[in-house]
A and B are shown apart, each in its own frame.
Chain A
Amino acid sequence: MNCEVAHERIVAAAYGELPDEQAHELERHVTGCPECQEDREQLLALKVLASAYPVVEPDANLVARSRLRLEEALDALPPKRWYERLSQRMTNNFASLQAAPVGVCLLLVVGAGMGSLGGYEIAQRHAARAAQAVQVAQAAVTRQEAQAGPAEIANISSIVRQPNSQMVEVRYNQVTPQRIQGSLNDPAIRQLLMLASENSASAGVRDDSVGLLAAECRDGHGCQGAGIRDALMVALRYDKNEGVREKALKGLEPYVGEDVRVRDAVLEALLNDSDARIRTAAINILEPVEADTSVRQVLHSVANTDQNPHIRNVSRQVLSRVPEIQ
């Protein structure tokens, strides 16, 4: 045995990892080799020195803190969809049956089915939207077409010069301003208001439309089927003007208890809205669902991380007001 090998084996031996026959051989070498004896002593010294940085037991507070944080995170995970649970169960079972290829094929079939179902739903939604747009256009035509303003040219679609002549054919599209009058119950009016809430470049117009739609919701004038609630949620999430967002929030208030999507939209506003007034209003609106785990999760986060001290306070108050539900 040469010293290089011996040095490696000394380390192994010091940690109880040297097979017995090699240990015996090593011992014989070291006994006759001062250099290797020195090496072994240094290694033992290192082991002693290393204990100057001992392993400590994590204290009970650290364990409790960590566990609590984990439980909250696990509580906040969305429940698995039925197809996720099914595919997981299939993966578990099929793996143990060594029938992976079959499982994969079945999963592919299920997955393809899910994919097309999802696509079908999206296509349906688009179709519904297109149908609505067509309806609005028709309604506009059948109503007063008073005072159509001077037509603006929107774009030029083609220019064709006829051969051997000075004649040119130009195709262009025109924008014709229209006007429509009707009551708030009129579905056509409502649809236009919803379009206005998303599409108008003018904050004033968006503000008016959202205000009207919100008033409809608060008065309970049947605002679910026609997608008004959706329009308000979109306005709350995306509108750049805080007045508009505030009106949208007020309109959604009656539905925070019964509609999970509304609740989640309000929670998002509480977490992400840049305006403190809106975040405060959101906390108040969440009162009927204070005890929900996801609401509490968000309130915890807000109580710790919101920039505004008043909001942090209010969150803490709400949390302490409602007992924890396990």
Chain B
Amino acid sequence: MNGQKSAEERMQARAPEMELIREAQAGSRTAFDALVRQYEQQVLRLALHLTGSEHDAEDIYQEAFLKAFRYIGNFRFECSFYTWIYRIVTNLCLDQLRRRKTRREDRAVVLDRSGDEIDLLASVPDGRSFSNPAKELDRKVLGERIQEALTKLTPRERMVFELKHYQGLRLRTIGEMLNTTEETAKNTLFRATKKLRAQLAGLR
């Protein structure tokens, strides 16, 4: 097992991504595993923030990388592998969001694996509010209000806002990932911010 690990590490250090992809396409499991390691953190971060649930994020991770494994032969290097993977992930996330809409599940808080709430704000360093319990409670309530407002967006609006505001991607990249134009992504972002502002109007 140790020998295999160092082979992976060596592979990761030496081989630029294109080599890894070619080897994975030829069937190398080690190469594919190295690709997974390069992208898994980002995939989980996105899925976790979008769904608010560790359990759902794990499911999306699983489906996304299994799909990537299955279809890596179709990757033609016409876009970056990053975009290709994200396209898979965002589509799975969109499916998730749509399923939730039809089930009318309102996730107002973030749940961890055992179903307990995670206090996200506890992990955010902020010198001002920690000494004031009332203010801390305010921030928690605020966080919940934001999440609630986000669920009122359509899945595409939610996705574009997530990718632009929270993940910091360029609109052009977002368009590529969602198989649309930069202009459409921009309009979607505009609609999303308009809706969110209306939702949060009372909270100044």
Query: Chain A: how many interface residues by the 8 Å CB criterion?
Result: 40
B residues adjacent to A (C-beta < 8 A): 1, 4, 25-27, 29, 32-33, 36, 40-41, 44-45, 48-49, 54, 57-58, 61-62, 65-66, 69, 73, 76, 113, 120-121, 123-124, 139, 142-143, 145-147, 150, 164-167, 170-171, 186-187, 189-190, 193, 196-197, 200, 203-204
- Whether B27 and A74, one on each chain, are in contact in the complex, defined by CB atoms closer than 8 angstroms, is no
Contact of A43 among B120, B143, B193 (CB under 8 A): B193
A residues adjacent to B (C-beta < 8 A): 7-8, 11-12, 15, 17, 42-43, 45-47, 49-50, 52-58, 62-63, 65-67, 69-71, 73-74, 77, 80, 85, 88-89, 91-92, 95-96, 326
- Whether A62 and B69, one on each chain, are in contact in the complex, defined by CB atoms closer than 8 angstroms, is no
B49 neighbours in A (Cβ, 8 Å): 53, 55-56
- Whether A70 and B61, one on each chain, are in contact in the complex, defined by CB atoms closer than 8 angstroms, is yes
What distance in Å separates the Cβ of A11 from its nearest Cβ neighbour in chain B?
Answer: 5
Interchain Cβ contacts under 8 Å between A and B, 30 examples? A7-B190, A11-B189, A11-B193, A12-B186, A12-B189, A15-B189, A43-B193, A43-B197, A46-B200, A50-B166, A52-B139, A52-B142, A52-B145, A53-B49, A53-B120, A54-B121, A58-B57, A62-B58, A63-B44, A65-B58, A66-B44, A67-B36, A69-B62, A70-B36, A71-B33, A73-B62, A74-B69, A85-B27, A95-B76, A326-B4
- Top-6 shortest CB links A-B: A58-B44, A52-B142, A53-B146, A66-B61, A326-B1, A52-B143
- Whether B40 and A66, one on each chain, are in contact in the complex, defined by CB atoms closer than 8 angstroms, is yes
A91 to B25, CA, bound (A): 11
A7 to B69, CA, bound (A): 44
For A66, A69, A77, A96, the residue with the greatest tally of chain B CB atoms inside 10 Å of its CB is A66
A66 neighbours in B (Cβ, 8 Å): 40, 44, 57-58, 61-62
- Whether A53 and B40, one on each chain, are in contact in the complex, defined by CB atoms closer than 8 angstroms, is no
B142 neighbours in A (Cβ, 8 Å): 49, 52
Given contacts A54-B120, A66-B44, contact A80 B27 (CB under 8 A): yes
- Whether B146 and A49, one on each chain, are in contact in the complex, defined by CB atoms closer than 8 angstroms, is yes
B27 neighbours in A (Cβ, 8 Å): 80, 85
Given contacts A46-B200, A88-B73, contact A70 B65 (CB under 8 A): yes
A58 neighbours in B (Cβ, 8 Å): 41, 44-45, 48, 54, 57
A74 to B143, CA, bound (A): 38
A88 to B1, CA, bound (A): 30
- Whether B25 and A63, one on each chain, are in contact in the complex, defined by CB atoms closer than 8 angstroms, is no
Residue of B nearest to A89 (CB): B26
- Whether A53 and B48, one on each chain, are in contact in the complex, defined by CB atoms closer than 8 angstroms, is no
B150 neighbours in A (Cβ, 8 Å): 53
Contact of A54 among B1, B124, B170, B204 (CB under 8 A): B124
B166 neighbours in A (Cβ, 8 Å): 50, 55
Contact of B204 among A17, A45, A47, A52 (CB under 8 A): A45
A80 to B57, CA, bound (A): 29
Q: A55-B49, A62-B48 are in contact. List 10 more A-B contacts (CB 8 A).
A: A15-B189, A46-B193, A52-B145, A54-B123, A55-B166, A58-B41, A63-B40, A71-B33, A88-B73, A92-B73
Contact of A57 among B45, B54, B76, B143 (CB under 8 A): B45
B113 neighbours in A (Cβ, 8 Å): 62
What distance in Å separates the Cβ of B128 from its nearest Cβ neighbour in chain A?
Answer: 13
B29 neighbours in A (Cβ, 8 Å): 74
- Whether B143 and A55, one on each chain, are in contact in the complex, defined by CB atoms closer than 8 angstroms, is no
B41 neighbours in A (Cβ, 8 Å): 57-58, 63
What distance in Å separates the Cβ of B17 from its nearest Cβ neighbour in chain A?
Answer: 17
Residue of B nearest to A74 (CB): B69
Given contacts A66-B61, A88-B73, contact A8 B190 (CB under 8 A): yes
What distance in Å separates the Cβ of A203 from its nearest Cβ neighbour in chain B?
Answer: 42
Contact of B146 among A50, A74, A80, A95 (CB under 8 A): A50
A284 to B32, CA, bound (A): 36
What distance in Å separates the Cβ of B24 from its nearest Cβ neighbour in chain A?
Answer: 11
Contact of A53 among B1, B33, B143, B197 (CB under 8 A): B143
A8 neighbours in B (Cβ, 8 Å): 186-187, 190
What distance in Å separates the Cβ of A97 from its nearest Cβ neighbour in chain B?
Answer: 12
- Whether B197 and A42, one on each chain, are in contact in the complex, defined by CB atoms closer than 8 angstroms, is yes
A57 neighbours in B (Cβ, 8 Å): 41, 45
Contact of B171 among A7, A17, A49, A80 (CB under 8 A): A17
What distance in Å separates the Cβ of A43 from its nearest Cβ neighbour in chain B?
Answer: 6
Given contacts A42-B197, A47-B165, A74-B29, contact A17 B146 (CB under 8 A): no
